[in-house]
Amino acid sequence: MTDRALFEAFINASPYPVFAKDASHRWVYGNSAFEMIAGEMNFVGEKDSLLVHPVCIDRIREVERKVLAGEDSLDEETLITGAVLLTIRRPLRLPSGETLIAGIIISIIHAPDVASSGSKASLRRHELAIADVRKVDTERTRWLEQRLELVEQAETAATKAARTDPATGLRNRMGFDLDLATVAEEPLPPDKILCLAFLDLDRFKFINDSFGHKAGDTVLKSVAKRLITWPGVRSLARMGGDEFAILFDHPRVAPHVLVENISLMRQRIFRAVRVGDKLIQVSGSVGLSVHGLDADDLESLKLNADTALIEAKHLGREQVKLFDAGLALRTYRRHTLERDLRQAIARNQIVPAFQPIVNAKTRAIEGVEVLARWNHPQLGPIPAQEFITIATECGLISALDLSIVRRACGPVRNWLSDNRLRFVSFNASSLEIVRPGYAAEILSLIRRCGVQAEKVCIELVESAIIHDIDRARANICILKDRGVKIALDDYGTGYSNLRALLDLPIDRIKIDRSIIGDIGDDERAMKLVLSVVQLAKLFNAELIAEGIEDETQATYLEGMNCEFLQGFHFSPAVDAQQFDLLLTRQTSRAA
């Protein structure tokens, strides 16, 4: 038997795969065990990337380079001079697609001298080499198997840790995505649907700020424990922060029934949590998506659930929202407006509009409210409440408010200076009136524009005052000291109470249009208007009724001794040129 045949016979008898590669990383040999891995693939002459997993190829080649260069390996264990044991997860892949864990011994193979091939000396050298290999094969392989088992256990633990949220013990985002891909491929009974719910704690930052992060962690853990009881759960995860995800199956029911059922679950999950001697109120919103109904692939399923969650929070929180086609359109619209709003403010595309405020007795225009209007180039006119809400949420409301005031002051200055108007009203958002420095900023702006502070009225919504009355008072007092009037806007829409009037120097009260609209049809609305009129007189505040749509309403409020009227019955909000024309016509009639 030749040296080569003897060598190959021994190597082929080894139960472990043995291979050889040249310096260019091409396979030149593989024993019988290695051929079983390769299957019917003709690997000789092919690059090692044919079988080596892409994750491991660079590492293996780096070790090979070190061995060939005679360097010591920093990460792998040197067995003998020029041989390195490398333990890697999944370095080899079978033709079937399966991957293996392998311990690889890499060593240099020196080609024998052709002239001495077949000599007894050469044979003895091979016999010694074979004996050495047998020694490694019998003693080291057992240790190698033990090491591979430890590596497998360590990697299993590491993998589990990488897929688990340490705070709650639930899956994290990575683990949930893996579960989602697996569960989505599993068949469901025809009477079941696969649902994805994204859940978000409302005002979690407030909980952290008010009670501390330790209390916040306790709330998260309590919510996580409650979520485990969710019926039909297939996977449960904390996606990060205060957001959770649940993949679950549910009986096939009508969409509104599904929402009702999840609403009941929401109430069970989001309820008060006791932390020490404190009872922390917890609420949350839920966004739902159904696989096969509104989403056919996993990315759409997640996107739709997230979109539904955002909509639920926009609806006022503590809501359950199921994704639908209309929601997709509304989401597209909102994203478009968010994207374009900053540029629209910078380019002055959001313009001031002017709505007259008339004397209830004479019906003469005595004041003007400055409003904002945005005609989007693609979407057309955008309702003011829509883009103002977005501006508030995106942190652009200050820039928007100041831009409208600055651009309106030019024509307003002229109308005030020639006594065609008594006053101008600007709106202050709920964030602006409590912002430190707001009063000084608005006073500086109107002074630079040449508008007298005594002829300016700032309109505030009740909610802004009630939620942070101390900061609101600080700004209001500065404005009042300079002669600015303060109006309470939208009075009677949910926060109406005497505290706002007692604590703040209010000059005017505006009755909300929703109350005015019921005059003549609803006796309770008429009594409510009467009570507001009497309250205004008690506190020596002027009364403005907004939303007047017909003469009947105007006459009724005039009879109630309301000082000012405002609404479409007199004029909608118009641009500066049209408003100037209204004043000119009024002057002509008076002459």
Q: Model confidence over 5-34: pLDDT tens digits? A: 666 676 676 666 777 777 777 877 777 777
Distance between CA atoms of residues 84 and 75, nearest Å:
10
Which pLDDT tens digit goes with each residue over 401-414? 999 999 999 999 99
Q: Could you tell me if 312 and 321 are in contact, meaning their C-beta atoms sit under 8 angstroms apart?
A: yes
Average pLDDT of the segment spanning 358-386: 95
Domains of the chain, residue spans: 3-161, 173-323, 334-583
116 pLDDT higher than 50:
no
CATH entry 3.30.70.270 includes domain 173-323: yes
Supply 482's token pair. 């300079």
| The pLDDT of residue 131 | 36
Beta strands in 469-519 (DSSP E): 485-491, 508-511
251 pLDDT higher than 90:
yes
Beta strands in 94-149 (DSSP E): 99-107
CATH among 3.60.21.70, 3.40.50.880, 3.30.450.20, 3.60.15.10 for 3-161: 3.30.450.20
Distance between CA atoms of residues 391 and 346, nearest Å:
13
Share of the chain above pLDDT 90, in %: 38
**H or E stretch covering 416:** helix 397-417
3-state class (DSSP) for residue 2 = coil
| The pLDDT of residue 53 | 63
Q: Could you tell me if 317 and 372 are in contact, meaning their C-beta atoms sit under 8 angstroms apart?
A: no
Average pLDDT of the segment spanning 75-94: 43
103 pLDDT higher than 90:
no
Scan for tokens 């490398």, then name that residue: 86
CATH topology of domain 334-583: TIM Barrel (3.20.20)
544 pLDDT higher than 70:
yes
| The pLDDT of residue 383 | 94
pTM: 0.59
| The pLDDT of residue 148 | 54
- Give the β-pairing of 485-491 and 508-511: parallel
Average pLDDT of the segment spanning 357-368: 95
Average pLDDT of the segment spanning 472-485: 94
Angle between helix 3-13 and helix 120-135 axes, rounded to 10 deg? 10
Which pLDDT tens digit goes with each residue over 257-266? 999 999 999 9
| The pLDDT of residue 381 | 95
Distance between CA atoms of residues 584 and 119, nearest Å:
121
447 pLDDT higher than 60:
yes
| The pLDDT of residue 208 | 85
| The pLDDT of residue 101 | 46
Distance between CA atoms of residues 345 and 338, nearest Å:
12
When pLDDT is cut at 50, 70 and 90, the band that residue 318 belongs to is confident
Query: Which is nearest to 280 in space by CA: 214, 227, 338?
Result: 214
User: Which distant-in-sequence residues (6+ apart) come within 8 Å of 176 by Cβ?
Assistant: 235, 237, 239, 245, 247
470 pLDDT higher than 90:
no
Query: Which is nearest to 336 in space by CA: 390, 287, 288?
Result: 390
Q: What is the mean pLDDT of the chain?
A: 80
Query: Which is nearest to 151 in space by CA: 162, 159, 140?
Result: 159
Average pLDDT of the segment spanning 382-400: 92
When pLDDT is cut at 50, 70 and 90, the band that residue 501 belongs to is low
Distance between CA atoms of residues 410 and 575, nearest Å:
13
123 pLDDT higher than 60:
no
Between 452 and 587, residue with greater pLDDT: 452
Share of the chain above pLDDT 70, in %: 76
| The pLDDT of residue 342 | 93
95 pLDDT higher than 60:
no
Average pLDDT of the segment spanning 240-255: 91
3-state class (DSSP) for residue 408 = helix
138 pLDDT higher than 90:
no
